[in-house]
Amino acid sequence: MARMDIDGEVEEAARRIQVRFVTKLKAPKAPPASIAIPSNLTRLGLSSIVNNLLKAGKDDWNPEPFDFLIDGELVRMSLEEFLLAKGISAEKILEIEYIRAVAPRKQEEPSLHDDWVSAVDGSNSKFVLTGCYDGFGRIWKAAGSCTHLLEGHTGAITSVCVVKPRVAQNGADQIVATASKDRTLRLWKFDADESLDQIKRIRSCKILHGHNASVQSVAANPAGDMVCSGSWDCQIALWQASGSDTGDVVSVKKRKKDAEKEDPQVEEEAKSTLVGHTQCVSCVVWPQDETIYSASWDHSIRRWDVEMGKDSLNLYCNKVINCLDVGGEGSALIAAGGSDPILRIWDPRKPGTSAPVYQFSSHSSWISACKWHEKSWFHLVSASYDGKVMLWDLRTAWPLAVIDTHKDKVLCVDWWKGESVISGGADSKLCISSDVCVL
């Protein structure tokens, strides 16, 4: 069938194909019957159709964006182009799964700092922990609401982490760790449930000495009794985070402030070190008690056996590596970014290959941070010096969403509460993009 356009030329009408919309969402559900739709529809057109079907069954339905999967792959072109590219027949009824689009639906007001926001951790749903180049750590209960100021470092903070013991603690026992260019790490204890009318300044409860260069990264083990750190001295150090203090421990009494004597700080040396990298250890993660992963400017990613003190995996990618994280299917995929715009993902379970299984190349500058979603096999987020944060799904090569709230380099990124993306940058802002429907 053909129709004539306003210029008098004949234009072929779009071919129609039979489709059935299905979903794993508990609600809403589209009618199970198949319908005929134009083959030139993209995901926006498909989303419009699904919203109309849902509204027909529920008058008060508020339209929302959807994404679409065919044979487990996200559709990022017209249906006709997709079917042709994948060699799928359009003669039979096509089953299309719809899922909620993974994109932030709300931008919170930015939380201002006094210098670059270099580190962020959203692993505790009660608060966001940030590290800043002004040397202070900060605890935020919500956007714009800073409750605690962590003071004591004499250099810029480069990395932060929440120390989470397996046994649930009350809020008063919350411990966090910070790493700094002053060559030290510090542990801090505070009450996450404390109700405060003004910002509370706190001093560290433990200072960790041992690196002879800037400390670039810190991570805690799942048990919450140890932390590890990576440094420009090319070493990974392991430290006691809780329990009794043993070894070379020195009690340091602090100055009296306002005639009040504060709690003493404790200085401690590393329990052990992991040696093998030949340049800056830029990132460490500790996903299992017995295993540490590290990334380095020596172009390598290593997996370490904590008990043996030796590396059991060594991946090279010919680029300086700034960041890595472990997650995805089986919590086994390694995501990393560095001195080019490509986010690379390896699956170390596949023997005999050191090539990435996925490569995403939509950024336009170095990648500074990446983080898997804790409860999804497919989703992760990346940050870049191009000023953008991107949300990714392994089922498509294109980003699900691009967040461009920062006005300068983005230096760090994480998830918070499972449905928010938090990021910090050289514009001195903590940005929170919320209502991201991943699950």
Q: Cis bond leading into 165, ω under 30°? A: no
Three-class SS state of 86: helix
Low-confidence ranges of the chain (pLDDT < 50): 1-12, 244-261
- Do the beta carbons of residue 389 and residue 402 sit within 8 Å? yes
pLDDT tens for 14-27 read: 789 999 999 998 87
Distance, CA of 179 to CA of 244 (rounded, Å): 22
pLDDT at 3: 39
Encoding tokens for residue 143? Answer: 């956007």
pTM for the full predicted model? 0.87
Q: What's residue 174's pLDDT?
A: 92
CA distances from 226 to 138, 141, 218, 270 (A): 22, 25, 11, 10
- The residues facing 160 across adjacent strands are 178
- pLDDT score for 169: 58
* Separation between Cα atoms, residue 403 and residue 390, nearest integer Å: 6
Task: Tell me 260's DSSP state.
Answer: B
* Residue 225 burial class via C-beta count within 10 angstroms: exposed 0-12, middle 13-18, buried 19 and up: middle
And the tokens for 298? 């020596």
CA distance 342 to 33: 42
Confidence (pLDDT) at 139: 97
279: phi then psi, degrees, rounded to nearest 5: -140, -175
